[in-house]
Structure 1
Amino acid sequence: MKKILFPTDFSESANNAFVYALNLANALKAEIITLHVYEFPILDSNYIEVPLYQAEVYESLELSNFENYKSQIPVLRQIAGANGMEHIPISNVLLEGDLVNNVAQLVKDENIDYVVMGTHGASGFNAFFFGTVTADIMTGTSAFVIGIPEESKFEAISKIGFATAYNEEDKTALRKLIPLADAFDAVIECLHVQTSSEEVTGHSEWKQAFANNNINFHTIESNTIEESIIDFTEVHRIQLFALLNHKHGFWESLFHTSLTKKLAFHLKVPLLALHEK
């Protein structure tokens, strides 16, 4: 059975993303592991000099976090019930420490297939693209990571966008994306943004290689990749947009400031980061 890790801070944004996690689990016949991570504050040594008192403070904070965690679990169960997903197996984990490190370790220990998590508004989405929290998880784990914008409300996934430079790494990533599309009975809308200095190669070969799959291929001539992605997503009514998490090249060039600002305020669909291996 596939496994979906769902990190949550129990906010409205996280609860919104949980609906996506539930529907993904239903489509893939997967289980969900919810994760809540808390950190102890750094206590000022000028005020706390007695180790015993410091231990009591930490113990009190740990108990408070546990009680909050315990009270929020039924809320997730209620969300599952309200969406007809009571049958989805759900287990829950509470950990202390850094969120990114804990997610990376759980992905490794539990053989997690997908990580689904929400982002908070414009500032959260900026952080998402600048390389903190969600983006750090995207680049730091071997799982597929889906970031859900706060404004995005789940609707049946019938179209998945995929950006490509028509290279071998992208071809491998597309093959990994196909089972997800098939699970939702969705078509993949494959997009290549051709800049004025680029000569497109591989288009015909790709069409032939994926002739038996439900994939459409599109090429847009433009020097503004970010605007082309945004326009393409809106025009084709894409419900999920996927990118290969290149360590270098296309993905890296994508995360410059101008693109970040545009996507932060205009791209309203979930973003799926695929890994290379």
Structure 2
Amino acid sequence: MKNILVPTDFSAAAERAFRAAFEIASQSGGNITLYHSLIPLESVFIETDEKRRQYNRQTKANVRKRMRRLINKVAGGSEVEISTVISHLPVISSVLEYGQDNDIDLIIMGTQGASGLKKVVLGSIAAAVAGKSNIPVLLVPENAVWQKPGHIVFATGCREADENATAYILQFAKIYRATVEAVHLYKDDPDNTEKEKKDFTLYKSYLQKTFGKTNLKFRLIKTASVKSSIEMLDTSVPYDMMAMVRRRKTLLERFFLTNLTRNMACVTSKPLLIVPETIKSKKAGA
């Protein structure tokens, strides 16, 4: 995790995300880009051109001061390299574009809390970035306090196409020498149980052959409701962080999986790592 991008709006949630990024960068030897998207005042109906330019210059200067104060508050005196960027584009598109153009390995963002599946984070910036980014996104819940993850649950769909995403999750876990537990939940259906067990066994064998001896464990869970069980997974399989793959979906999967991934960002109290299926493999240590 050499290059970490942290968008900030200076909220408490964004500060928690920055603190998490600082801890990860400290452990991995990475650097951080603290990023703020500033929409300039351009309306011709507000004051004169010169007044608007003065306002925008002052606003940008104020943002730079706030970024410096935040860096001093979180990382003052450390050796972690932290740079700042102020963009003038809409926040979602600018974050995605900056990440692609600057070889970013991980985007870390804070999320706001909510209650239940019906209060989805579809409209939030963090969810929108996580839903579109070709770069892994770590979402840090509003009330979470970042701590060294010792146990990472990888909620898997048992697909060999997830190989690159799995490699990324294992690379992240290696920073903390954490155990990754691949957990597959399937609906209780007598007609499908044997197939699920067989598929999981093949998937487990494939990952073990691909990644060799790693801190990778496996668990198959039968449940009446996959959606409810994954939201409450921490009660039966305690973990410090969850990882999920955001995949290119068929029409049927799009409704369920998109909402499930975003809902997890909403209801979980633990950090959530969302890795795109399309992530490209990088050399070890990259």
Structure 1 equivalent of residue 100 of structure 2: 108
1:254 pairs with 2:254: no
The answer as to whether partners of 1:188 and 1:214 remain within 8 angstroms in 2 is yes
Structure 1 equivalent of residue 223 of structure 2: 222
**Superposition map of 1:198-213 within 5 A:** 198=192, 199-200=195-196, 201-208=198-205, 209-210=207-208, 212-213=213-214
Decide which of 86, 94, 116 is 2:86's aligned counterpart: 94
The answer as to whether partners of 2:111 and 2:265 remain within 8 angstroms in 1 is no
Structure 2 equivalent of residue 27 of structure 1: 27
Aligned residue type for 1:32: I
Distance 1:131 1:242 in 2: 22
1:150-199 C-alpha deviation (Å, 9 max, x unpaired)? 01111111111111111112333212211111111100121101113443
Distance 1:276 1:264 in 2: 21
Identity fraction in percent? 23
**Cα distance change, pair 260–112 in 1 and its aligned pair in 2 (3 A):** closer
**Cα distance change, pair 263–86 in 1 and its aligned pair in 2 (3 A):** closer
The answer as to whether partners of 2:110 and 2:139 remain within 8 angstroms in 1 is yes
Aligned residue type for 1:17: A
Give the TM-score of the pair, scaled to structure 2. Answer: 0.82
| Structure 1 stretch displaced more, 165-174 or 104-113 | 165-174
**Cα distance change, pair 56–234 in 1 and its aligned pair in 2 (3 A):** farther
**Runs in 1 of length 4+ with deviation above 4 angstroms?**
125-128, 249-252, 259-263
Structure 2 equivalent of residue 238 of structure 1: 239
1:231-268 C-alpha deviation (Å, 9 max, x unpaired)? 322433312111111121557513448x8668634x10
The answer as to whether partners of 1:149 and 1:270 remain within 8 angstroms in 2 is yes
Distance 1:222 1:251 in 2: 21
The answer as to whether partners of 2:121 and 2:263 remain within 8 angstroms in 1 is no
Name the SS for the 2:232 alignment partner: helix
Structure 1 equivalent of residue 273 of structure 2: 272
Unaligned runs of 5+ in 2: 279-286
Unaligned runs of 5+ in 1: none
Distance 1:128 1:4 in 2: 26
Distance 1:128 1:212 in 2: 39
Matched positions, count: 266
Kindly report the root-mean-square deviation, in angstroms, between the aligned alpha carbons of the 2 structures.
Answer: 2.7
**Cα distance change, pair 74–262 in 1 and its aligned pair in 2 (3 A):** closer
1:157 pairs with 2:149: yes
Give the TM-score of the pair, scaled to structure 1. Answer: 0.85
Distance 1:56 1:232 in 2: 56
Distance 1:273 1:251 in 2: 16
Tell me how far 1:131 sits from its aligned partner: 5.5
Decide which of 181, 184, 193 is 2:176's aligned counterpart: 184
